[in-house]
Structure 1
Amino acid sequence: MARISFDDLLSIGAHFGHVVRKWNPNFQPYVLMEKNGVHIINLEETLKNLEKALHFITDVISRNGEILFVGTKKQAKDIIQQEADRCGMFYVVERWLGGTLTNFSTIKKSIKRLQLLEKEGSSIYENLTKKELQMLNRERIKLSDQHRGIKDMRRLPDAVVIVDAFFESIAIKEANLLEIPVIAIVDSNTDPRKIDYPIPANDDSIRTIQLIISTLTDAVIEARTKDDVVEDIKLDSQQSDSKEDKSEIKEEQLSEETKIETAAEELEINIEEIDSPPEKTAKKKLVKVKTTLGTDSEEKKTRGNKDSLKKPAVIEEKEN
């Protein structure tokens, strides 16, 4: 996870607060001192709170959460849009529309209207006059500017990151009503008790905004890459387990086949006789018995004929 040092914050003027007469008494825990009528922010507290915010963002992303970046003031617009696009999250850089969170169902209808107007070849443009086409074009441009950073947002975000909590007080109120955690850069003119993860710093400095928001964005990207690596490892392990299971099954089948073959060889079992029914085997035995008897009788007959032929010859010799 990216780390910011004390010197990094000091070099960009993150420690300068507002003039004393504009301060909020609840900001006292983050004030280091007063110098030339300006409050000096304790940068040690800034680093400590930033670390908490980074851990919270990592936890949100690990649960497949979504984050909404908000920065409608001039110094923050470009930074918010650039960093939100870099990490693939939603953003609001134009005027905050009341009910963006608390009346999200109406915002979704407006987004659907924008998607219909942006769809090429839509039937809504058929048979319209030139004036009506111009009106629809103006409506499309207006909705596109209002919802360009949230037109793909299908549900409420899991966290909101805000630049200048004092300037974006309406967005913070809506998030508090819906119990959506808020991470915000808080200056000395703001009550930090309304923020879940306040980051005390100079919210008017472009370089301070850039450094803090880019650090939060880096945390989002790192958390996402870690999740992707973990998913890849799980898939690889599942595939290897399935391969091992298949090889074990094959080995078991082969071992069973070899056992059957060896048993058949030891017992000298004739597979054909085992498969044939008992009636056929009995008939085969009878045929064998008959054939043996037949051969014995034939042998006896042939012997008798030989004896009968020999006897007359002996008698004739005696008579002579």
Structure 2
Amino acid sequence: MVASTHALTADGVRKRYAELAALDGFDLHVTAGTIHGLLGPNGAGKSTAVKAMATLIDVDEGAVRVAGLDVRTQARRVRQRIGLVGQHAAVDEILGGRQNLVMFGRLYGLSKAAARQRANELLDGFGLVDAADRAVSTYSGGMRRRLDIAAGLILAPAVLFLDEPTTGLDPRGRNEVWQSIREVADRGTTVLLTTQYLDEADQLAAEISVMNHGRVVASGSPDALKRQIGGDRVTVTLPRRQPLDPIVRQLTGAVGEPAVVDTETHQVTFEVGVGVTALAGIVRTLDELRVTPEDLQLRRPTLDEVFLTLTDREVTR
């Protein structure tokens, strides 16, 4: 039995299109009130998974529950509990921001007064009050995307699906949208985020699931996924005027891990479990030896490396 703290669950989901298995044993558990990243290469099945959870397609096998509701038998109720923001903006550029939100409210079945009230709440919450009555065509990319997300929140959904929310935005626009997504989650909405920007998932998601070939191949926090492909790396660049071997022996003893030595660059690299602890030991040892390094770096695996490692591993199986 899946715990009630999960806002989204998928178990053994399969979906075929002719000979293509778009979903092939897809499993997902998303904790309520969190931002969950769904990553994968093109064709991995991300869009199909979102469509299945948003009741846009039927699955061939398996069970999907959203906000505690079965998407097969309770699809109408599921739609009342979700928001869906696609990759391409759905707002009308001729209308103003307020007009767009009122229009969406009316389409969702709200009365004129309720739609206007909800539009005002969302404009305030997304920092769009000053631009509310300007045509959306005059908005920056970040403002348009924030308005698009606001439109997905008209009914205060329990779950919000965001598909590539910052595609094409400049760094300022991305940061504006990131802040809006964080605020949505802070208010209790569960966010499922699909993105090709791995730094975006690293910044926003508490948990990440990596998809490949229609199934999830790894899940966990960004840090936990990074640890799967190795520990931190500490690299010391030693001065050329001092002998390398005795310093390396002392550093190896302090770190407790073998060193990789590049005699050309005088760089000594250690792969360690916790980089900060090793870094402290290296600094103390160098201080005792009265050696001033030319450079000292702590490098952690990136989510890009995790993504490439996990998806490449799947290809070679």
- TM over 0.5, yes or no? no
TM range (shorter): under 0.3
TM-score (norm 2): 0.27
- Between Structure 1 and Structure 2, the one with more strand by share is 2
Q: Which has the larger radius of gyration?
A: 1
Higher-RCO chain (CA-CA 8 Å, sequence separation at least 6): 1
